Protein backbone atom coordinates (compact mmCIF):
# COMPACT_ATOMS: atom_id res chain seq x y z
CA UNK A 1 0.00 0.00 0.00
CA UNK A 2 1.30 3.44 -0.96
CA UNK A 3 0.18 6.47 1.07
CA UNK A 4 0.63 10.14 0.20
CA UNK A 5 0.94 12.10 3.48
CA UNK A 6 -0.02 15.81 3.25
CA UNK A 7 -0.28 18.51 5.90
CA UNK A 8 -0.87 22.24 6.42
CA UNK A 9 -2.50 23.12 3.10
CA UNK A 10 -3.88 26.35 4.58
CA UNK A 11 -6.48 27.18 1.92
CA UNK A 12 -3.82 27.38 -0.81
CA UNK A 13 -5.72 25.83 -3.72
CA UNK A 14 -2.92 26.60 -6.17
CA UNK A 15 -0.37 24.61 -4.18
CA UNK A 16 -2.77 21.73 -3.52
CA UNK A 17 -3.52 21.34 -7.22
CA UNK A 18 0.21 21.20 -7.97
CA UNK A 19 0.74 18.53 -5.29
CA UNK A 20 -2.20 16.40 -6.44
CA UNK A 21 -0.92 16.56 -10.02
CA UNK A 22 2.44 15.29 -8.77
CA UNK A 23 0.82 12.56 -6.65
CA UNK A 24 -1.09 11.32 -9.71
CA UNK A 25 2.23 10.36 -11.33
CA UNK A 26 3.29 8.08 -8.44
CA UNK A 27 0.54 5.42 -8.28
CA UNK A 28 -0.62 6.28 -4.76
CA UNK A 29 -3.40 4.17 -3.19
CA UNK A 30 -4.54 6.54 -0.45
CA UNK A 31 -4.08 10.20 0.51
CA UNK A 32 -4.03 11.21 4.20
CA UNK A 33 -4.18 14.84 5.34
CA UNK A 34 -2.69 15.61 8.77
CA UNK A 35 -4.78 18.76 9.28
CA UNK A 36 -4.88 22.53 8.82
CA UNK A 37 -6.59 22.71 5.47
CA UNK A 38 -8.02 25.96 6.85
CA UNK A 39 -6.13 29.11 7.91
CA UNK A 40 -4.04 31.84 6.25
CA UNK A 41 -4.97 31.22 2.60
CA UNK A 42 -7.60 32.74 0.29
CA UNK A 43 -9.68 29.76 -0.95
CA UNK A 44 -10.92 27.72 2.03
CA UNK A 45 -14.13 26.37 0.46
CA UNK A 46 -12.54 25.23 -2.80
CA UNK A 47 -9.54 23.71 -1.01
CA UNK A 48 -11.73 21.88 1.49
CA UNK A 49 -13.94 20.52 -1.32
CA UNK A 50 -10.92 19.09 -3.11
CA UNK A 51 -9.47 17.53 0.06
CA UNK A 52 -12.87 16.06 0.94
CA UNK A 53 -12.99 14.46 -2.50
CA UNK A 54 -9.55 12.83 -2.56
CA UNK A 55 -8.33 12.31 1.04
CA UNK A 56 -9.01 8.99 2.76
CA UNK A 57 -8.77 10.69 6.16
CA UNK A 58 -8.48 14.29 7.33
CA UNK A 59 -7.31 15.06 10.88
CA UNK A 60 -8.27 18.16 12.86
CA UNK A 61 -5.60 20.87 12.91
CA UNK A 62 -5.54 23.88 15.21
CA UNK A 63 -6.65 26.27 12.43
CA UNK A 64 -9.45 23.87 11.45
CA UNK A 65 -10.50 23.79 15.11
CA UNK A 66 -10.54 27.59 15.27
CA UNK A 67 -12.67 27.93 12.14
CA UNK A 68 -15.30 25.44 13.37
CA UNK A 69 -15.41 26.94 16.89
CA UNK A 70 -13.52 24.31 18.88
CA UNK A 71 -10.55 26.60 19.56
CA UNK A 72 -10.52 30.30 20.42
CA UNK A 73 -8.55 32.18 17.67
CA UNK A 74 -7.48 34.81 20.23
CA UNK A 75 -4.32 32.73 20.72
CA UNK A 76 -3.33 33.20 17.05
CA UNK A 77 -1.26 35.99 15.55
CA UNK A 78 -3.30 38.82 13.90
CA UNK A 79 -2.82 37.47 10.35
CA UNK A 80 -4.02 33.99 11.30
CA UNK A 81 -6.89 35.40 13.37
CA UNK A 82 -8.06 37.54 10.46
CA UNK A 83 -8.03 34.52 8.16
CA UNK A 84 -10.13 32.47 10.62
CA UNK A 85 -12.82 35.17 10.64
CA UNK A 86 -12.75 35.41 6.83
CA UNK A 87 -12.91 31.63 6.39
CA UNK A 88 -16.01 31.43 8.58
CA UNK A 89 -17.66 33.87 6.14
CA UNK A 90 -16.62 31.90 3.05
CA UNK A 91 -17.52 28.30 3.94
CA UNK A 92 -20.91 26.66 4.36
CA UNK A 93 -22.59 24.96 7.29
CA UNK A 94 -21.75 21.60 5.71
CA UNK A 95 -18.08 22.53 5.83
CA UNK A 96 -18.31 23.53 9.50
CA UNK A 97 -20.06 20.23 10.26
CA UNK A 98 -17.32 18.23 8.53
CA UNK A 99 -14.58 20.16 10.33
CA UNK A 100 -16.30 19.41 13.64
CA UNK A 101 -16.35 15.70 12.82
CA UNK A 102 -12.62 15.43 12.10
CA UNK A 103 -10.63 13.13 14.45
CA UNK A 104 -7.52 14.20 16.34
CA UNK A 105 -5.53 11.07 15.43
CA UNK A 106 -5.52 8.12 13.06
CA UNK A 107 -4.27 4.59 13.73
CA UNK A 108 -3.57 2.14 10.89
CA UNK A 109 -1.89 -1.29 10.90
CA UNK A 110 1.32 0.35 9.64
CA UNK A 111 1.51 3.75 11.36
CA UNK A 112 -0.25 6.40 13.47
CA UNK A 113 -0.96 10.06 12.64
CA UNK A 114 -1.74 13.32 14.49
CA UNK A 115 -1.51 17.01 13.69
CA UNK A 116 0.69 17.92 16.67
CA UNK A 117 2.34 15.59 19.16
CA UNK A 118 0.78 12.35 20.45
CA UNK A 119 0.93 12.98 24.20
CA UNK A 120 -1.93 15.51 23.99
CA UNK A 121 -3.29 15.63 20.41
CA UNK A 122 -5.98 18.14 21.38
CA UNK A 123 -3.42 20.57 22.82
CA UNK A 124 -1.67 20.89 19.41
CA UNK A 125 1.83 20.91 20.86
CA UNK A 126 4.74 21.49 18.50
CA UNK A 127 7.56 19.03 17.86
CA UNK A 128 10.38 21.33 16.79
CA UNK A 129 13.40 19.56 18.28
CA UNK A 130 14.48 16.11 19.42
CA UNK A 131 13.50 16.76 23.04
CA UNK A 132 9.93 17.61 21.97
CA UNK A 133 9.64 14.22 20.24
CA UNK A 134 10.24 12.10 23.35
CA UNK A 135 6.71 12.39 24.91
CA UNK A 136 5.17 11.11 21.66
CA UNK A 137 7.51 8.11 21.52
CA UNK A 138 6.61 7.38 25.15
CA UNK A 139 2.85 7.72 24.62
CA UNK A 140 2.30 5.44 21.61
CA UNK A 141 4.01 2.23 20.52
CA UNK A 142 3.91 2.28 16.70
CA UNK A 143 7.23 2.26 14.88
CA UNK A 144 6.19 4.98 12.43
CA UNK A 145 4.41 8.22 13.39
CA UNK A 146 3.39 11.09 11.11
CA UNK A 147 2.83 14.66 12.36
CA UNK A 148 2.47 18.13 10.81
CA UNK A 149 1.92 21.53 12.48
CA UNK A 150 5.43 23.03 12.23
CA UNK A 151 5.44 23.34 8.40
CA UNK A 152 9.01 22.00 8.43
CA UNK A 153 9.80 18.66 6.72
CA UNK A 154 11.80 16.65 9.24
CA UNK A 155 12.53 13.23 10.78
CA UNK A 156 13.01 12.25 14.43
CA UNK A 157 14.46 8.81 15.11
CA UNK A 158 14.92 6.92 18.37
CA UNK A 159 16.84 3.67 18.84
CA UNK A 160 18.13 1.49 21.65
CA UNK A 161 19.70 4.48 23.41
CA UNK A 162 16.23 5.89 24.11
CA UNK A 163 17.35 9.37 23.04
CA UNK A 164 15.59 10.94 20.00
CA UNK A 165 17.68 12.48 17.22
CA UNK A 166 16.74 15.01 14.56
CA UNK A 167 17.36 14.40 10.85
CA UNK A 168 16.60 16.66 7.91
CA UNK A 169 14.17 15.47 5.22
CA UNK A 170 15.68 12.54 3.30
CA UNK A 171 14.47 9.37 1.63
CA UNK A 172 14.99 6.26 3.79
CA UNK A 173 13.87 2.72 4.58
CA UNK A 174 12.60 1.86 8.06
CA UNK A 175 15.13 -0.09 10.12
CA UNK A 176 14.36 -2.69 12.77
CA UNK A 177 14.78 -1.58 16.41
CA UNK A 178 14.28 2.06 15.42
CA UNK A 179 11.21 4.24 15.60
CA UNK A 180 10.43 7.33 13.56
CA UNK A 181 8.40 10.54 13.66
CA UNK A 182 8.08 12.01 10.16
CA UNK A 183 6.83 15.51 9.33
CA UNK A 184 6.05 15.88 5.60
CA UNK A 185 6.20 19.68 5.79
CA UNK A 186 3.58 22.04 4.39
CA UNK A 187 1.69 22.00 1.10
CA UNK A 188 0.49 25.59 1.16
CA UNK A 189 2.41 27.63 3.74
CA UNK A 190 6.13 26.78 3.67
CA UNK A 191 8.46 27.90 6.44
CA UNK A 192 11.66 26.51 4.97
CA UNK A 193 12.80 29.75 3.31
CA UNK A 194 11.78 28.44 -0.13
CA UNK A 195 8.45 28.87 -1.89
CA UNK A 196 7.74 25.20 -2.40
CA UNK A 197 5.26 22.53 -1.37
CA UNK A 198 6.48 19.40 0.38
CA UNK A 199 4.84 16.06 1.08
CA UNK A 200 5.96 12.46 1.41
CA UNK A 201 4.96 9.00 0.18
CA UNK A 202 5.11 5.94 2.44
CA UNK A 203 5.25 2.48 0.84
CA UNK A 204 4.19 -0.04 3.50
CA UNK A 205 5.43 -3.01 1.42
CA UNK A 206 8.88 -1.61 0.77
CA UNK A 207 8.86 0.19 4.17
CA UNK A 208 10.23 3.28 2.45
CA UNK A 209 9.54 7.01 2.79
CA UNK A 210 10.26 9.45 -0.05
CA UNK A 211 10.00 13.24 0.29
CA UNK A 212 8.76 15.33 -2.65
CA UNK A 213 9.46 19.05 -3.15
CA UNK A 214 7.86 21.12 -5.89
CA UNK A 215 7.16 24.83 -6.55
CA UNK A 216 3.69 26.32 -6.87
CA UNK A 217 2.35 29.42 -8.61
CA UNK A 218 2.74 31.97 -5.85
CA UNK A 219 1.62 34.81 -8.14
CA UNK A 220 -1.79 33.20 -8.50
CA UNK A 221 -1.80 32.66 -4.74
CA UNK A 222 -1.09 36.35 -4.08
CA UNK A 223 -3.81 37.44 -6.49
CA UNK A 224 -6.32 35.20 -4.73
CA UNK A 225 -5.25 36.62 -1.35
CA UNK A 226 -5.98 40.15 -2.50
CA UNK A 227 -9.36 39.18 -3.95
CA UNK A 228 -10.29 37.53 -0.64
CA UNK A 229 -9.36 40.67 1.30
CA UNK A 230 -6.47 38.99 3.13
CA UNK A 231 -2.96 40.27 3.73
CA UNK A 232 -0.05 39.21 1.58
CA UNK A 233 2.12 36.67 3.41
CA UNK A 234 5.42 37.84 4.88
CA UNK A 235 7.26 34.94 3.30
CA UNK A 236 5.81 36.01 -0.05
CA UNK A 237 7.16 39.51 0.46
CA UNK A 238 10.67 38.56 1.53
CA UNK A 239 11.52 35.45 -0.51
CA UNK A 240 12.94 35.72 -4.06
CA UNK A 241 10.61 34.41 -6.75
CA UNK A 242 11.95 31.10 -8.09
CA UNK A 243 9.21 31.06 -10.75
CA UNK A 244 10.16 34.48 -12.14
CA UNK A 245 9.42 34.71 -15.88
CA UNK A 246 10.65 37.39 -18.30
CA UNK A 247 7.92 39.85 -19.37
CA UNK A 248 8.19 40.70 -23.07
CA UNK A 249 4.97 42.74 -23.33
CA UNK A 250 2.89 44.93 -21.06
CA UNK A 251 -0.14 43.33 -19.47
CA UNK A 252 -3.37 43.53 -21.49
CA UNK A 253 -6.92 42.63 -20.48
CA UNK A 254 -8.45 39.88 -22.61
CA UNK A 255 -11.81 39.99 -20.82
CA UNK A 256 -14.74 40.40 -23.21
CA UNK A 257 -16.06 44.02 -23.02
CA UNK A 258 -19.73 44.69 -22.17
CA UNK A 259 -22.17 45.61 -24.97
CA UNK A 260 -24.32 48.76 -24.74
CA UNK A 261 -27.23 47.01 -23.00
CA UNK A 262 -24.95 45.46 -20.42
CA UNK A 263 -23.18 48.81 -20.00
CA UNK A 264 -26.53 50.39 -19.10
CA UNK A 265 -27.31 47.58 -16.67
CA UNK A 266 -23.90 47.93 -15.07
CA UNK A 267 -24.32 51.72 -14.76
CA UNK A 268 -27.70 51.30 -13.03
CA UNK A 269 -26.15 48.71 -10.71
CA UNK A 270 -23.37 51.15 -9.79
CA UNK A 271 -25.88 53.96 -9.10
CA UNK A 272 -27.93 51.63 -6.88
CA UNK A 273 -24.77 50.57 -5.12
CA UNK A 274 -23.86 54.22 -4.52
CA UNK A 275 -27.30 54.93 -3.04
CA UNK A 276 -27.01 51.92 -0.77
CA UNK A 277 -23.59 53.13 0.35
CA UNK A 278 -25.05 56.54 1.29
CA UNK A 279 -27.88 54.92 3.25
CA UNK A 280 -25.35 52.67 4.94
CA UNK A 281 -23.22 55.72 5.77
CA UNK A 282 -26.05 57.40 7.70
CA UNK A 283 -27.03 54.10 9.32
CA UNK A 284 -23.47 53.75 10.55
CA UNK A 285 -23.61 57.27 12.06
CA UNK A 286 -26.78 56.35 13.96
CA UNK A 287 -25.24 53.09 15.17
CA UNK A 288 -22.08 54.93 16.24
CA UNK A 289 -24.15 57.44 18.22
CA UNK A 290 -26.02 54.68 20.02
CA UNK A 291 -22.74 52.82 20.65
CA UNK A 292 -21.22 56.01 22.11
CA UNK A 293 -24.18 56.37 24.48
CA UNK A 294 -23.86 52.74 25.59
CA UNK A 295 -20.09 53.08 26.02
CA UNK A 296 -20.56 56.17 28.18
CA UNK A 297 -23.04 54.31 30.36
CA UNK A 298 -20.68 51.35 30.70
CA UNK A 299 -17.80 53.64 31.58
CA UNK A 300 -19.82 55.18 34.39
CA UNK A 301 -20.93 51.78 35.66
CA UNK A 302 -17.48 50.16 35.51
CA UNK A 303 -15.21 53.04 36.48
CA UNK A 304 -17.22 55.79 38.19
CA UNK A 305 -19.59 53.61 40.15
CA UNK A 306 -18.19 51.51 43.05
CA UNK A 307 -16.60 48.23 41.98
CA UNK A 308 -19.14 45.51 42.68
CA UNK A 309 -18.93 41.87 41.67
CA UNK A 310 -22.57 40.83 41.37
CA UNK A 311 -23.68 37.58 42.93
CA UNK A 312 -23.54 34.64 40.57
CA UNK A 313 -26.49 32.60 39.37
CA UNK A 314 -26.59 28.92 40.20
CA UNK A 315 -23.49 27.22 38.81
CA UNK A 316 -24.84 24.67 36.38
CA UNK A 317 -21.77 23.31 34.58
CA UNK A 318 -21.39 20.60 35.69
CA UNK A 319 -25.00 20.35 36.79
CA UNK A 320 -24.30 18.22 39.85
CA UNK A 321 -23.00 20.02 42.98
CA UNK A 322 -19.32 19.82 43.81
CA UNK A 323 -19.07 18.17 47.21
CA UNK A 324 -16.25 17.76 49.68
CA UNK A 325 -12.79 17.77 48.14
CA UNK A 326 -10.35 15.21 49.59
CA UNK A 327 -7.55 16.41 51.79
CA UNK A 328 -4.64 17.90 49.84
CA UNK A 329 -2.48 15.19 48.36
CA UNK A 330 1.29 15.10 48.75
CA UNK A 331 1.73 16.36 45.19
CA UNK A 332 -0.58 19.31 45.86
CA UNK A 333 1.37 20.23 48.98
CA UNK A 334 4.66 20.03 47.10
CA UNK A 335 3.17 22.25 44.39
CA UNK A 336 2.01 24.66 47.14
CA UNK A 337 -1.58 24.68 45.89
CA UNK A 338 -4.76 23.30 47.46
CA UNK A 339 -6.71 23.99 44.24
CA UNK A 340 -7.09 21.52 41.42
CA UNK A 341 -5.04 22.30 38.26
CA UNK A 342 -6.86 23.88 35.34
CA UNK A 343 -7.29 21.69 32.24
CA UNK A 344 -4.85 21.70 29.31
CA UNK A 345 -7.66 21.26 26.79
CA UNK A 346 -11.33 22.06 27.02
CA UNK A 347 -14.50 22.35 24.95
CA UNK A 348 -17.47 24.53 25.79
CA UNK A 349 -20.11 22.94 28.05
CA UNK A 350 -17.67 20.27 29.24
CA UNK A 351 -17.12 19.72 32.94
CA UNK A 352 -13.72 20.78 34.36
CA UNK A 353 -12.28 18.27 36.80
CA UNK A 354 -12.13 19.76 40.30
CA UNK A 355 -14.03 22.93 39.30
CA UNK A 356 -17.41 24.17 38.21
CA UNK A 357 -18.24 27.33 36.32
CA UNK A 358 -21.11 29.46 35.08
CA UNK A 359 -21.79 31.08 31.72
CA UNK A 360 -24.49 33.76 31.90
CA UNK A 361 -25.24 33.69 28.15
CA UNK A 362 -23.69 30.62 26.55
CA UNK A 363 -24.40 31.76 22.99
CA UNK A 364 -22.34 34.91 23.66
CA UNK A 365 -19.48 33.34 25.65
CA UNK A 366 -16.59 31.08 24.68
CA UNK A 367 -14.05 29.32 26.92
CA UNK A 368 -10.72 27.81 25.84
CA UNK A 369 -7.98 26.09 27.86
CA UNK A 370 -4.33 26.91 27.22
CA UNK A 371 -0.91 25.79 28.46
CA UNK A 372 2.38 27.72 28.22
CA UNK A 373 5.07 25.40 29.55
CA UNK A 374 4.22 25.00 33.26
CA UNK A 375 1.46 27.62 33.12
CA UNK A 376 -2.21 26.74 32.59
CA UNK A 377 -5.03 29.15 31.95
CA UNK A 378 -8.60 29.62 30.77
CA UNK A 379 -9.36 32.17 28.04
CA UNK A 380 -12.90 33.54 28.20
CA UNK A 381 -14.44 35.71 25.47
CA UNK A 382 -17.67 37.62 26.16
CA UNK A 383 -19.39 39.27 23.19
CA UNK A 384 -21.21 41.59 25.63
CA UNK A 385 -20.82 42.39 29.35
CA UNK A 386 -21.40 38.98 30.94
CA UNK A 387 -20.48 37.14 34.12
CA UNK A 388 -18.09 34.19 34.40
CA UNK A 389 -17.54 32.41 37.72
CA UNK A 390 -15.05 29.63 38.45
CA UNK A 391 -15.58 27.77 41.74
CA UNK A 392 -13.77 25.03 43.66
CA UNK A 393 -15.42 22.15 45.56
CA UNK A 394 -16.09 22.41 49.28
CA UNK A 395 -12.67 21.85 50.89
CA UNK A 396 -12.24 20.64 54.46
CA UNK A 397 -9.69 22.32 56.72
CA UNK A 398 -7.62 19.50 58.21
CA UNK A 399 -5.68 21.91 60.46
CA UNK A 400 -7.85 23.48 63.20
CA UNK A 401 -4.99 25.85 64.07
CA UNK A 402 -4.88 27.33 60.55
CA UNK A 403 -5.70 31.04 60.82
CA UNK A 404 -4.94 32.28 57.31
CA UNK A 405 -4.62 31.18 53.70
CA UNK A 406 -2.48 32.86 51.06
CA UNK A 407 -3.86 33.45 47.55
CA UNK A 408 -2.01 34.47 44.43
CA UNK A 409 -2.94 34.59 40.78
CA UNK A 410 -2.82 36.50 37.55
CA UNK A 411 -5.13 37.59 34.79
CA UNK A 412 -4.29 38.95 31.36
CA UNK A 413 -6.56 41.44 29.61
CA UNK A 414 -6.74 40.64 25.92
CA UNK A 415 -8.83 42.04 23.07
CA UNK A 416 -11.31 44.80 24.02
CA UNK A 417 -11.37 43.75 27.70
CA UNK A 418 -13.32 45.96 30.09
CA UNK A 419 -14.52 44.75 33.49
CA UNK A 420 -13.63 43.48 36.97
CA UNK A 421 -12.28 40.26 38.49
CA UNK A 422 -12.18 39.23 42.16
CA UNK A 423 -10.91 36.31 44.25
CA UNK A 424 -13.36 35.12 46.90
CA UNK A 425 -13.13 32.77 49.87
CA UNK A 426 -16.40 31.55 51.36
CA UNK A 427 -15.97 30.00 54.84
CA UNK A 428 -18.35 27.49 56.44
CA UNK A 429 -18.76 25.90 59.88
CA UNK A 430 -20.06 22.35 60.06
CA UNK A 431 -22.98 22.00 62.51
CA UNK A 432 -23.60 18.97 64.79
CA UNK A 433 -26.33 17.79 62.40
CA UNK A 434 -23.86 17.86 59.49
CA UNK A 435 -25.29 21.01 57.87
CA UNK A 436 -22.93 23.75 56.66
CA UNK A 437 -23.45 27.32 57.88
CA UNK A 438 -21.92 30.34 56.13
CA UNK A 439 -19.62 32.16 58.56
CA UNK A 440 -17.58 34.57 56.42
CA UNK A 441 -17.06 35.84 52.87
CA UNK A 442 -13.82 37.60 51.88
CA UNK A 443 -13.35 39.20 48.44
CA UNK A 444 -10.31 40.89 46.88
CA UNK A 445 -10.29 42.63 43.48
CA UNK A 446 -7.44 41.72 41.13
CA UNK A 447 -5.44 44.92 40.61
CA UNK A 448 -3.55 46.13 37.55
CA UNK A 449 0.20 45.61 37.36
CA UNK A 450 2.40 48.57 38.19
CA UNK A 451 4.30 48.06 34.94
CA UNK A 452 3.54 50.74 32.40
CA UNK A 453 1.41 49.62 29.42
CA UNK A 454 1.08 46.12 30.92
CA UNK A 455 -2.09 44.14 30.18
CA UNK A 456 -1.43 41.91 33.19
CA UNK A 457 -3.18 42.20 36.56
CA UNK A 458 -2.16 40.26 39.67
CA UNK A 459 -3.39 39.37 43.15
CA UNK A 460 -1.26 38.42 46.13
CA UNK A 461 -3.33 38.56 49.32
CA UNK A 462 -4.03 36.74 52.57
CA UNK A 463 -7.44 35.43 53.59
CA UNK A 464 -7.74 35.70 57.39
CA UNK A 465 -9.93 32.86 58.65
CA UNK A 466 -12.45 34.02 61.26
CA UNK A 467 -15.17 32.32 63.33
CA UNK A 468 -13.37 28.95 63.38
CA UNK A 469 -14.41 27.63 59.95
CA UNK A 470 -14.26 23.92 59.17
CA UNK A 471 -14.60 24.16 55.38
CA UNK A 472 -14.12 26.71 52.63
CA UNK A 473 -14.87 27.23 48.93
CA UNK A 474 -12.72 29.33 46.57
CA UNK A 475 -14.09 31.39 43.63
CA UNK A 476 -12.86 33.58 40.80
CA UNK A 477 -15.74 35.95 39.98
CA UNK A 478 -15.69 38.23 36.95
CA UNK A 479 -17.96 40.45 34.92
CA UNK A 480 -16.51 41.88 31.73
CA UNK A 481 -16.75 42.47 28.00
CA UNK A 482 -14.06 41.28 25.57
CA UNK A 483 -11.44 38.60 26.24
CA UNK A 484 -9.86 37.68 29.57
CA UNK A 485 -7.22 35.07 30.42
CA UNK A 486 -7.34 33.61 33.95
CA UNK A 487 -4.16 31.81 34.99
CA UNK A 488 -4.03 28.91 37.46
CA UNK A 489 -4.94 30.37 40.88
CA UNK A 490 -2.95 29.31 43.93
CA UNK A 491 -4.27 28.89 47.47
CA UNK A 492 -1.96 27.64 50.22
CA UNK A 493 -0.93 28.14 53.85
CA UNK A 494 2.39 29.66 52.77
CA UNK A 495 3.40 32.56 50.54
CA UNK A 496 3.53 31.15 46.99
CA UNK A 497 3.59 34.07 44.59
CA UNK A 498 3.74 33.82 40.81
CA UNK A 499 7.05 34.25 38.97
CA UNK A 500 7.58 37.47 37.04
CA UNK A 501 5.53 37.80 33.87
CA UNK A 502 8.76 38.03 31.82
CA UNK A 503 9.38 34.33 32.51
CA UNK A 504 6.23 33.28 30.64
CA UNK A 505 6.23 31.93 27.12
CA UNK A 506 4.36 33.86 24.46
CA UNK A 507 1.22 32.83 22.60
CA UNK A 508 1.57 30.16 19.93
CA UNK A 509 0.96 31.57 16.42
What DSSP string runs through 57-90?
EEPPPHHHHHHTTSS-GGGS-HHHHHHHHHHHHH
Max Cα-Cα span within the chain: 96
Instruction: Please state, as a whole number, how many other Cβ atoms lie within 10 Å of the Cβ of residue 178.
Output: 13
pLDDT at residue 209, rounded to an integer: 97
Instruction: Please state, as a whole number, how many other Cβ atoms lie within 10 Å of the Cβ of residue 193.
Output: 9
Q: Which residues in the chain are classed under CATH 3.60.21.10? A: 2-219
pLDDT at residue 316, rounded to an integer: 45
Task: Decide if 202 contacts 208 (C-beta within 8 A).
Answer: yes
Task: Decide if 227 contacts 48 (C-beta within 8 A).
Answer: no
pLDDT at residue 321, rounded to an integer: 46
pLDDT at residue 450, rounded to an integer: 62
How far apart CA 31 and CA 23 sit, in angstroms, is 9
Q: Which residues in the chain are classed under CATH 2.60.120.260? A: 324-503
pLDDT at residue 227, rounded to an integer: 86
pLDDT at residue 277, rounded to an integer: 58
pLDDT at residue 353, rounded to an integer: 80
| SS3 category, 204 | coil
Pick among 2.60.120.260, 1.10.3720.10, 3.20.20.70, 3.40.50.620: CATH of 324-503 = 2.60.120.260
Task: Decide if 201 contacts 3 (C-beta within 8 A).
Answer: yes
Question: pLDDT in tens for each of the 509 residues of the chain?
Answer: 999 999 999 999 999 999 999 999 998 999 999 999 999 999 999 999 999 999 999 999 999 999 999 988 888 888 888 999 999 999 998 999 999 999 999 999 999 999 999 999 999 999 999 999 999 999 999 999 999 999 999 999 999 999 999 999 999 999 999 999 999 999 999 988 888 999 999 999 999 999 999 998 888 888 888 888 887 775 544 444 444 555 555 555 554 554 544 545 555 555 555 555 555 556 667 677 777 777 766 665 555 433 333 333 344 444 444 444 444 443 344 346 788 888 877 666 677 788 888 877 777 888 888 776 667 888 888 888 888 899 888 888 877 778 888 888 889 888 788 999 999 999 888 888 878 888 899 998 888 766 666 788 888 888 888 888 988 889 999 999 988 989 899 888 764 444 443 333 323 22
Task: Decide if 67 contacts 82 (C-beta within 8 A).
Answer: no
pLDDT at residue 274, rounded to an integer: 55
How far apart CA 431 and CA 9 sit, in angstroms, is 63
C-alpha distances out from residue 79 to 83, 228, 391, 479, 501, Å: 6, 13, 35, 29, 25
Asked if CATH classification 3.60.21.10 holds for the domain at 2-219, the reply, yes or no, is yes
User: Where do the DSSP E strands lie in 255-399?
Assistant: 324-325, 356-359, 365-372, 375-391, 394-396
| Helix H or strand E encompassing 289 | helix 260-299
| Contacting residues for 23 by C-beta, under 8 A, at least 6 apart | 4, 31, 199, 201
pLDDT at residue 51, rounded to an integer: 95
C-alpha distances out from residue 388 to 16, 53, 60, 360, 365, Å: 43, 42, 29, 7, 9
Amino acid sequence: MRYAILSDIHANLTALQSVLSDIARHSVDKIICLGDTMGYGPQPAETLELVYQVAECHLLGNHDAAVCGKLNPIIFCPTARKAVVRHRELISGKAIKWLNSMPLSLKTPSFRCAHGDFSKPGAFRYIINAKDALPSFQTVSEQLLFIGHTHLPSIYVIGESGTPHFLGPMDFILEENKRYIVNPGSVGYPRTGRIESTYCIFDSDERSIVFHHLPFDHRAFNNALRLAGLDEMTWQQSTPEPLSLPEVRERLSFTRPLDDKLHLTETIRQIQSSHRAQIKKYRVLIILSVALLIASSLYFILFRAPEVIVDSPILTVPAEPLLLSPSPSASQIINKNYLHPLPTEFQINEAIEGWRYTLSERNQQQVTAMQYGIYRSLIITNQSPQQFVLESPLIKLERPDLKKLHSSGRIRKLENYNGTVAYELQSYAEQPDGEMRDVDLISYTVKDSRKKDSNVAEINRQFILKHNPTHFRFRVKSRFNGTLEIFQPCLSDIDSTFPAIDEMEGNIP
